[in-house]
Amino acid sequence: MSDYIPEILRVIRDQIMKYKNPLAIKMSSCTDTCSGDICRENCETIMYTGCLYTTMGIVEKIGFMLSKVTKNPASDLSIKLFKKFMGPGGKLAAKFRNKEFDIIPRKAMEILKRIGVNAVCLDEEPYNGALLYDLGFHEELIKYGEYLRDFFKSKGVKKIILIDPHSYDVFMNFYKKEIKDFDFEILNIIDLINKAIDEGKIKLKSDELKTVTYHDPCNYSKSTERRIIEEPRRIIRSIEGLDLREPEYTKNFSECCGGPLEFIFHELSSEIAEMRVNELLATGAEKIITACPICSINFRRVLKKEKNKVMDIIDLVYESMER
């Protein structure tokens, strides 16, 4: 069976297994924007980004390279080019850090502080393993889940707050079920924000932004287990002065953003993203809100100069908090 795996997928798999990141960037790069909330040991409650915002921010910046590689992903030249960017230590990839995405985990931590949740970031953070899950590398995913279990336990972690749908999906629907002693308490920042709203710990108001539409990430809206559909909408509707407009295809019928195909079929991913963006903008909303960094980069890529029309829900909450 392994003979039929495209070489580019083997490279991605091997990068994750060896460097704990598909771009081979250093694990410390995934938490270096977390300000002073860094912990090295006895880190009971952590906010874990899955290194997804840092990784996908870089992916957006190197889109020009991915488009060349994926035109003929089986060619030796494409593989060499991909390996050059994603080589040992991810030194070249790391030069393409994306400040717009890097700052989102810091904003998430500020939100947690505001609502009274005490959490820290680890001094280094391995990738969440979601691509192994998405690409069907089952044996490797088992080994990776065991590595994550041992890594978190070595840091004294007992409770993990997740801030993106891919981490939440693979943690709840795979690691918790398939990895022995993966017994951490898993929380989602969406739930914590909603709880804080219900308890009156946070009030949200939009002064300039008036209309938004919400895109449901597949890993939230189409899960075989718990589906997180109404919870983001409750947050948005709680923001004073903001009107939520639903697209034609929404909630569990929401169409895909085109990711994470951008690693393999860049043009196809862009075509899917463009169709979805057109549906979302047909609502007449000023901004597209999503809770997934993969969705964000795919939409931003097709919007190009108008990419600021896409906003992460963490950004939205942070900007709407009463100062």
Q: Where are the alpha helices (DSSP H) in the chain?
A: 7-19, 52-61, 63-69, 76-85, 99-114, 130-135, 138-154, 165-170, 176-178, 189-198, 218-221, 230-237, 266-281, 293-303, 313-320
Q: CA 112, CA 124: separation in Å to the nearest integer?
A: 20
Q: Which residue has the tokens 């290194």?
A: 51
The tens digit of pLDDT for each residue in 274-307 reads 999 999 999 999 999 999 999 999 999 999 999 9
Q: What is the pTM of this model?
A: 0.94
Structure tokens at 160: 């993990």
Q: CA 96, CA 55: separation in Å to the nearest integer?
A: 10
**What's the pLDDT at 51?**
95
Q: CA 209, CA 203: separation in Å to the nearest integer?
A: 16
**What's the pLDDT at 1?**
45
Contacts of residue 3, Cβ cutoff 8 Å, sequence gap at least 6: none
- The residues of the chain scoring below 70 in pLDDT are 1-4, 35-36, 68-78, 81, 84-92, 263
The tens digit of pLDDT for each residue in 230-275 reads 999 999 999 999 999 999 999 999 999 998 777 677 788 889 999 9
The tens digit of pLDDT for each residue in 249-258 reads 999 999 999 9
Residue 70 carries which DSSP code? T
Query: Residue 320: what residue type?
Result: S
SS3 73: coil
Contacts of residue 254, Cβ cutoff 8 Å, sequence gap at least 6: 215, 216, 218, 221, 247
Contact (Cβ atoms closer than 8 angstroms) between residue 165 and residue 221: no
Closest CA to 122 of 184, 201, 166: 184
Backbone φ and ψ of 106, nearest 5°? -65, -40
By the 10 Å C-beta count (0-12 exposed, 13-18 middle, 19+ buried), 103 is classed as: middle
**What's the pLDDT at 62?**
80
The residue length of the chain stands at 323
| Angle of helix 7-19 versus helix 76-85 axis, rounded to 10 | 20
Q: CA 268, CA 323: separation in Å to the nearest integer?
A: 42
Distances (CA, A) of 259 to 63, 106, 200: 13, 24, 36
- Written as one string, the DSSP assignment of 238-301 is TSBT-EEE--SS-GGGPPP--TTGGGT-HHHHHHHHHHHHHHHHTTT-SEEEES-HHHHHHHHH
Q: Which residue has the tokens 């906010």?
A: 47
Q: Which residue ranges form the domains of the chain, and what is each CATH number?
A: 2-193 (no CATH), 201-320 (3.40.50)
Structure tokens at 94: 């790391």
- Mean pLDDT, all residues of the chain: 91
